[in-house]
Structure 1
Amino acid sequence: MDRGEIEAVVRRELQRIAPEADIEALDAGGDVREELDIDSMDLLRFVTALDAQLGVSVPESDYRRITTVRGCTDYVAEKLGRRGA
């Protein structure tokens, strides 16, 4: 899976959490919690969706790494790359 496909999944899952938001307009480097006004339960649902859709488990200690679209894409790509190695 390439970075573009990963980012598409990240944005799709964020859209499910914040259906009223213009996900394509999100700043890839902006904090999605602030931009989408999501709470900790929403973030947990997002983490669960990443695991379900991409098979990437995100421990709570890594949540800070997935708070931006770019950071989340990088994190997932890194995890998927390690698994393939």
Structure 2
Amino acid sequence: MTDLDIRTIIHHELRRIAPDIDVAAIHLDGDLREECDIDSMDFLNLIAALHQRLGVDVPERDYRKLITLNGAVDYLQQKLAEA
């Protein structure tokens, strides 16, 4: 799976959580919670949705690695490569 594939999945899941999000305006290294104006529960829903779509387990200690779009893509790419 490519970085673009993963980014597209993240964008799709973010739009499901917060339909008014302009995913094109998200700064790649900005905090997704602030960029998308989502709360901590929405962020947990995003992690759960990514787990469901990609089959990647994200332990709580790694949540901070998914704070930014670039971080999430890198983390998920690494986990998928390990599988």
TM-score bracket relative to the smaller structure: over 0.9
Residue identity over aligned pairs, in percent, reads: 47
Gaps of 5+ in 2: none
List structure 1 segments (4+ residues) > 4 angstroms apart after TM superposition.
none
Q: 1:10-25 to 2 correspondence within 5 Å?
A: 10-25=10-25
Alignment correspondent of 1:57: 57
Paired residues, number:
83
State the 1:35 CA deviation. Answer: 1.2
SS, match of residue 71 in structure 2: helix
Instruction: Give the Cα–Cα distance (whole angstroms) in 2 for the partners of residues 71 and 48 of structure 1.
Output: 16
Alignment correspondent of 2:36: 36
Provide TM-score, normalisation by structure 2: 0.94
Instruction: Give the Cα–Cα distance (whole angstroms) in 1 for the partners of residues 12 and 27 of structure 2.
Output: 15
Gaps of 5+ in 1: none
Counterpart AA for 1:74: D
RMSD of the TM alignment (CA)?
0.8
CA distances 1:15-70 after superposition (whole Å, capped 9, x unpaired): 11111110121111110101112111101110110011011111111110001111
Provide TM-score, normalisation by structure 1: 0.92
SS, match of residue 50 in structure 2: helix
Instruction: Give the Cα–Cα distance (whole angstroms) in 2 for the partners of residues 35 and 25 of structure 1.
Output: 8
Counterpart AA for 2:11: R
Alignment correspondent of 2:81: 81
